[in-house]
Chains A and B, each alone.
Chain A
Amino acid sequence: MKFIDEYRNADDSKRIVDKIKNILRHNWYIMEICGGQTHTILKYRLEEILPEKITLLHGPGCPVCVTSVEFIDKAIQLSFHKDVILTSYGDMLRVPGTKYSLLYSKSIGANVKTIYSPIDALKLAKDYPDKKIIFFAIGFETTAPATASSIIQARKMGLKNFFVLCAHVLVPPAIEILLKSQLTKIDGIIAAGHVCTVMGFKEYIPIAKKYKVPIVVTGFEPNDLLLGIFMTVKQLEEGRYDVENQYKRAVREEGNMSAKKIMFDVFEVVDRKWRGIGFINNSGLKIKKEFEDMDAEKVFSLNTQIDEIDTECIAGLILQGIKKPVDCLNFARKCTPENPLGAPMVSSEGSCNAYYKFGSVKINN
């Protein structure tokens, strides 16, 4: 684990923070767009050692939080279909749709299983030929190639009982919509290492130029983030708007070509609704026509009418970095991980959850 421990060294952290202090002149707002990075920032309380002039904003980087209610409702409906085993990643099962969550539907008789990768769903399909295995696929460019490859493998294996409910979303269109918005003040962006491992960072170059924001591809360890912040601040102080790569040990400019190819062999880009944000053009992935025999939305009958309910949760503002979890009146009072009012508190990658879990102040009711 030397690889990781190197990026968790207290002396290095101090050195990087000193470098930031040396060049810092102005107030800057920097947004990270990855739940894993939000988690590291809170888990290591980086704000405690960073100068006050830097404000970290947490973007819509939690894959569970941004999955729309409609999709969760669809998954719940599917989980009650005869002979179906509905599979998905851990936290996704906890987030409620309009009424309840997949974990709850499991407790009232639906067949729901947590899996670690779509390969597990494929294995189930092979082992239980008389069941229909549906994989509820969510997440960003990070998890999409694995979903795509499971579809191709299922085809190769001749499986007739493997289906995918595809809710994948793409990060760059979401970044653009936040930069366009008048509501969020973002000076610089920390781009998510994992997403860029797959996609590379070419597509960020026009965004950085158009909106005049430096973008730094950054890893997940505390010192990765401190370095990423340093590189962003340096550009800002020098008046540059480039795309730079802090996470060179994992990310190449062109990304992972074979993962990209497999993704676009199977999926096409569509408009998609993000929870708490709304519709974003060209921000989703949908299964192509050639594979629609595995598209759960095409194969199973679904009633997709949902009644949007207004709640006191300000997740939309949180996901766009307009407000911080502690600004929410319900935070740690009415809204806790046991009794979440919104997805960012349910998901362990959500920022409300991270603030609650690692925060230095607890509000007693």
Chain B
Amino acid sequence: MNEQININSCPVPQTEYDRILMAHGGGGKFSKNLLEQYIYPLFDNEILSQKHDSAIFEISNTKFAFTTDSFVVNPIYFPGGDIGKLAVYGTVNDLSVAGAKPVFISLSFIIEEGFPIEDFKKILLSIKQATEIADVKIITGDTKVVEKGSCDKIFINTTGIGIIENQIEINPSKCKAGDKIILSGSIGEHGISILVSRNNFELETNIESDTAPLNSLVEKIINVSKNIHMMRDPTRGGLSSCLNEIAQSAKVGMLIYEDKIRIREDVKSICELLGLDPLYVANEGKLVVIVDSKDADLVLNTMRQHPLGKDSQIIGELIEDQFNLVYMKTIIGTTRIVDMISGEQLPRIC
């Protein structure tokens, strides 16, 4: 064969997607594009344009938060939780980070024909337990069954309503340079526990999902500080997507410190092994708080007294930056950008 060196040519056409790919559900840039290109412009109104995890509105002088979410996790049982628990806590958390007290939720199932009643009962019981722990009531719901193969075992949708009783305004526009970023604990456990149980890696780990309701933790900090500017739970897309979203909607930059972000040793090892970045791995029971620097220690100490916040750390601060980017001081002292994930995170090859 003729040995030759090309100096050009990487024949790849520009890839415009005319179909939905898995990446569109990954919580990163693809998901964002879907919202910004197709959904927001079409349904534009003053509440939707808040782009919060929960919509916030007022009826007869009472402020409400309203949110909805669907759960399609595979496998449906995983160490530390199951799809039922996730469906309740996910919605409870979306309401909590808006500063609301979650009160009512709805519960809808799409079930694949042939799904064992035994499993259905198990999931219902887990949901019941989760609603008791989170102190919310299920007040309406729906059940649909579809033909075998039309869905994967069971999908759950939950919608939630919460009441905002306090006077704090949690809003990206309140964020300003100098505010501190507090993270309630270590990252990556949920995503890695799902990955390990989905793929049956022959790895000995006891990593459990961190799935948990954040309402009582949020209540505690709202009670001690009026200067909380923003809260988020870093779920799909991980900590990095969550921080990038805040930075962009608040029009600020961020500087975070790699050595302040806790990652369990076993989570770190599995990420190393598979070439995954824990910053992009999903969490289900963690809280990011942006707080005025004058209240940062107070909020931090309050969080540390709660079981879900005992490992809280100030991981960085907001800075002025015209690009609204998230920067990280690495453990060797250099600075790099932490970008939003593009598509799904896939394991490396070499």
Contact = CB atoms under 8 A, between A and B. Distances in A.
A305 to B, nearest CB: 14
Given A10-B332, A46-B334, A48-B334, A93 B346 contact: yes
A142 B10 contact: no
Interface centre among B10, B17, B323 (most CB of A within 10 A): B10
Contact of A341 (B14, B268, B330): B14
B336 A358 contact: yes
Interface in B316-350: 323, 325, 330-337, 339, 342-343, 346-350
B212 to A, nearest CB: 25
B19 A104 contact: yes
Interface in B197-211: 199, 201
A310 B342 contact: no
Contacts of A316: 6-10
Interface string A132-157: 00000011101100000000000000
Contacts of B343: 94, 337-338
Given A44-B336, A45-B334, A107-B19, A310 B9 contact: yes
Contacts, number: 202
B272 to A, nearest CB: 7
Interface size class of B (residues with CB under 8 A): 35 or more
Contact of B350 (A10, A101, A143, A344): A143
Interface string A68-95: 0100000000000000000001111111
B66 interface: no
A342 B10 contact: yes
Nearest to B32: A338
Contacts of B1: 271, 279, 281
Contacts of B16: 339
Given A308-B11, A338-B33, A36 B5 contact: no
B349 A90 contact: yes
A107 B19 CA distance: 7
Contacts of B342: 336-338
A362 B10 contact: no
Interface centre among B6, B7, B9 (most CB of A within 10 A): B9
A1 B269 contact: yes
A178 to B, nearest CB: 8
A181 B5 CA distance: 8
A10 B333 contact: yes
Contact of A89 (B6, B23, B349): B349
A348 B1 CA distance: 31
Interface string A337-363: 111111110101100000011111010
A14 B10 contact: no
Interface string B103-131: 00000000000000000000000000000
B348 A91 contact: yes
A341 B349 contact: no
A357 B14 CA distance: 19
Contact of A49 (B199, B333, B347, B349): B333
A364 B323 contact: yes
B13 A98 contact: yes
9 contacts: A9-B331, A94-B343, A103-B21, A107-B20, A271-B3, A276-B6, A314-B8, A316-B6, A338-B342
